[in-house]
């Protein structure tokens, strides 16, 4: 039994590595992404059709069958993704999208969810969000929106203070004449917020001129400060966040590699070449890089040897010159002693 145990465990590891390799190749295939996206579209269309009572009355059973088929295929997709991490299951749970898919599958089984039609529809609606994981461009957009949230907090604070100040001035100037728009500070803020889109600003300016000519300065400064500057500031914050998200997406795709699959342990059957530590595959490019690196190392060694030789020659020359100077000083001292004698 002791001799058979290592062999059986090795065969299990080989089997797990083989299954992980095949599941990884399926998950990384282009057709797999296309099928997953098609399921998301079918699920979204089914949800839209269910909003029509006549369609539900005529094809209710068909819609239910389509919904269950989408759920079954989602379970299969999740199983394949887990199988791709069979040799290292922790990698599956480190991916937030895998946890999201797992929550979508398990949510209808919870006691509080399966009895509520609204919650079930919300869970089904959440499946549409899965399209983000399939396309890098969508991930960049969502990542940019999330990264812009800290900057948006400061933007909202500045915008709120600006609108509040102009609302107080508008309440004092136009509150008695136009109480439906400037009767309170809340109504004034709502009116100015709607003017951010410059819709109706001409009518507001004409109405303000009937009260005072200073309304031109009021509305003109508000349009320049709030509508132009704040809008451009918002666009700048979002664009910067999108650039950061795009730069963060590049190294992540580089680490994953275009066709990276989980590594196979020793003794597993032959498959695609495993990815290197930096996400690139071993091949001619890697051999050329190693050759260039060896050539550079040889050049550096030669330069160091030449530098050491030059330093040695200078030190010997310095020591020889010092010895000659000492010899000349000793000869002159002996001559001086003879003269005194």
CATH of the domain at 174: 1.10.287.70
Residue 164, pLDDT score: 93
Lowest mean pLDDT among 30-34, 247-251, 264-268, 317-321: 264-268
Q: Which of 197, 231, 256 is the last residue of a domain?
A: 256
Q: Do residues 100 and 191 both lie within one domain?
A: no
Same domain, 124 and 165: no
| Of the candidate ranges 47-56, 103-112, 216-225, the one whose mean pLDDT is the lowest | 103-112
- Cα–Cα distance between 214 and 217 in angstroms, integer? 5
- The reported pLDDT for the residue numbered 230 is 85
Domain contains 297: no
Contact 264, 274 (CB under 8 A): yes
DSSP type of residue 20: H
* pLDDT score recorded for residue 327: 57
Any domain includes 141: no
pLDDT band, residue 270 (cuts 50/70/90): very low
Mark whether 23 and 120 lie in a shared domain: yes
62 falls within a domain: yes
Number of structural domains (the chain) is 2
Q: Do 130 and 32 lie in a common domain?
A: yes
Give per-residue pLDDT as tens, 104-155.
Answer: 888 877 777 766 777 777 777 777 877 777 777 777 787 788 888 888 888 8
Do 15 and 129 lie in one domain? The reply is: yes
Average pLDDT for the chain: 77
Summarised one tens digit per residue, pLDDT across range 81-103 is 888 888 888 888 888 888 888 88
Indicate left, alpha or beta for 267 from its phi (over 0: left) and psi (-120 to 50: alpha). Answer: left
**Range scoring the smallest mean pLDDT among 97-111, 119-133, 181-195, 316-330:** 316-330
Averaged pLDDT for residues 145-168? 87
Is the pLDDT at 326 greater than 70, yes or no?
Answer: no
* Beta bridge mates, 281: 275
- Model confidence pTM above 0.75: no
Are 84 and 272 within 8 A, CB to CB?
A: no
Is residue 51 domain-shared with residue 88, that is, in the same domain?
yes
Instruction: Say if residue 16 is in the same domain as residue 103.
Output: yes
CA 162 to CA 230: how far, in whole Å? 10
Q: Residue 192's domain spans which residues?
A: 149-256
Give the pLDDT confidence of 277-298 residue by residue, as tens digits: 444 444 445 555 666 677 777 7
Residues 155 and 248 reside in one and the same domain: yes
* Concatenated DSSP letters of 36-85: HHHHHHHHHHHHHHTT-HHHHHHHHHHHHHHHHHHHHHHHHHHHHHHHHT
pLDDT at residue 289 in the model: 61
Per the domain annotation, does 301 fall within a domain?
no
Q: Are residues 252 and 200 in the same domain?
A: yes
CB neighbour class for 208 (10 Å; exposed up to 12, middle 13-18, buried from 19): buried
């Amino acid at each position: 039994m002791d001799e058979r145990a290592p062999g059986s465990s090795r065969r299990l590891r080989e089997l797990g590595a083989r299954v992980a390799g095949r599941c990884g190749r399926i998950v990384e295939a282009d057709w797999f992404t296309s099928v997953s996206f098609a399921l998301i579209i079918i699920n979204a269309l089914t949800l839209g059709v269910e909003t029509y009572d006549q369609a539900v009355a005529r094809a209710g059973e068909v819609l239910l069958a389509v919904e269950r088929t989408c759920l079954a295929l989602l379970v299969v997709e999740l199983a394949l993704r887990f199988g791709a991490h069979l040799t290292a299951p922790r990698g599956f749970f480190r991916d937030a999208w895998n946890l999201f898919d797992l929550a979508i599958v398990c949510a209808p089984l919870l006691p509080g969810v399966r009895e509520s039609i609204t919650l079930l529809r919300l869970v089904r609606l959440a499946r549409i969000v899965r399209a983000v994981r399939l396309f890098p461009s969508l991930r960049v957009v969502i990542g940019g929106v999330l990264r812009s949230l800290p900057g948006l907090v400061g933007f909202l604070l500045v915008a709120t203070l600006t609108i509040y100040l102009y609302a107080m001035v508008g309440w004092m100037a136009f509150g008695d004449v136009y109480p439906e728009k400037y009767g309170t500070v809340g109504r004034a803020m709502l009116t100015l917020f709607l003017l951010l889109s410059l819709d109706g600003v001409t009518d507001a300016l004409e109405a303000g001129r009937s009260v005072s000519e200073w309304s031109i300065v009021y509305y003109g400064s508000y349009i320049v400060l709030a509508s132009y500057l704040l809008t451009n500031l918002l666009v700048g914050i979002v664009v910067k966040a999108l650039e950061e998200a795009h730069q963060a997406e590049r190294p992540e795709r580089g680490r994953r590699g275009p066709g990276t699959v989980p590594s196979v342990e020793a003794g597993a059957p032959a498959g695609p070449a495993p990815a290197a530590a930096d996400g690139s595959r071993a091949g001619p490019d890697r051999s050329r890089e190693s050759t260039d690196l060896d050539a550079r190392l040889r050049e550096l060694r030669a330069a160091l040897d030449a530098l050491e030789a030059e330093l040695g020659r200078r030190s010997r020359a310095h020591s020889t010159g010092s010895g000659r100077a000492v010899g000349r000083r000793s000869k002159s001292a002996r001559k001086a002693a003879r003269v005194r004698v």
